[in-house]
Amino acid sequence: MSASPLISGSSTRTVNGLSLPQVVAVDGPSASGKGTLSRKLAQALGYTYVDSGAMYRTLAWYCLKQEVPLPAAAGLNATTERPVVNALRRWKAELRKVNGAVWLHVDGYFPEKEIRTDAVERAVPVIAQIGKVRDWMVARQRDCMQFGPLVMEGRDIGTEVFPLAPVKFFLDANPEARAERMQGRGNQAGTERDKLDMTRKKGTLIPALDALRVDNTGQTVEETFAVLMKHVRSRLNMGQPGAPGSSPTPS
């Protein structure tokens, strides 16, 4: 696939003397469409796609596989978190780019199907509450810049992982629409996870102040995608038309 003319080879861009990570950050709650739309954005722009949630899922899968005791969300403290933190310290995980996307591989293996099981779905909200886990994950997510410009989806990408990203979105839909979407794909844990993520101390699920908030209730994927692409182009190519690498003016 040929790269978009919006792209330079670097993973950073300089605007008004400030070096910014060349990242499109896409945040939002469960069933907000961020996964589908982030993949479409990455493909259209020629950027590398990163699903930050899959990293947490991979750790959850590893803990379950290793029979690491997982505490209840209400019972998290330094003692109950220790087994998970110890597992994080000993696992052999590395970032690899496969078919335009970056995934965590454990001992050289990416558990693509295993991280989508019901057991992992139940474990992820607990894993994601642990501060030391979040610190490790944020560092790895920033390491993804080695693979070039990124479209990264998650829940704290624009606020914690890449607060200087030049393009940020916060996707949402009304509760009824999101509930219908979750039911359609057999995900019943999303609403509870959203509640936990909105109240955690680190990486709280909230929009970045400079994010474009998009409510896609009643919209098709293509309609929302058109809105996102228009904003991306206005932010990354605000110089003369057809001038690759032209610096955007401050908004």
57-71 per-position pLDDT tens digit: 999 999 999 999 998
Confidence of residue 204 (pLDDT cuts 50, 70, 90): confident
- pLDDT at site 241: 39
Is the per-residue pLDDT at 104 higher than 50?
A: yes
Please report, rounded to a whole number, the percentage of residues in the chain having pLDDT higher than 70.
Answer: 80
Question: Looking at domain 22-231, which CATH architecture does it have?
Answer: 3-Layer(aba) Sandwich (3.40)
Query: Predicted confidence band at 182 (pLDDT cuts at 50, 70, 90)?
Result: confident
Residue 205 has what pLDDT? 78
Averaged pLDDT, 172-197: 74
Q: H/E/C letters for each residue in the chain? A: CCCCCCCCCCCEEEECCEEEECEEEEECCCCCCHHHHHHHHHHHHCCEEEEHHHHHHHHHHHHHHCCCCCCCHHHCCHHHHHHHHHHHHHCCEEEEEECCEEEEEECCECCCCHHHCHHHHHHHHHHCCCHHHHHHHHHHHHHHHHHCCEEEEECCHHHHHCCCCCEEEEEECCHHHHHHHHHHCCCCCHHHHHHHHHHCCCCCCCCCCCCEEEECCCCCHHHHHHHHHHHHHHHHCCCCCCCCCCCCCCC
- What local confidence, expressed as pLDDT, does residue 72 receive? 86
pLDDT score of 115 more than 90? yes
Lowest mean pLDDT among 49-53, 59-63, 124-128: 124-128
pLDDT at 171 (0 to 100): 95
Confidence of residue 175 (pLDDT cuts 50, 70, 90): confident
Domains of the chain, residue spans: 22-231
Residue 246 has pLDDT above 50, yes or no: no
Predicted pLDDT of residue 198: 64
Which of 126-130, 238-242, 246-250 has maximum average pLDDT? 126-130
Q: What would the pLDDT profile of 23-38 be if each residue is shown by its tens digit?
A: 999 999 888 989 999 9
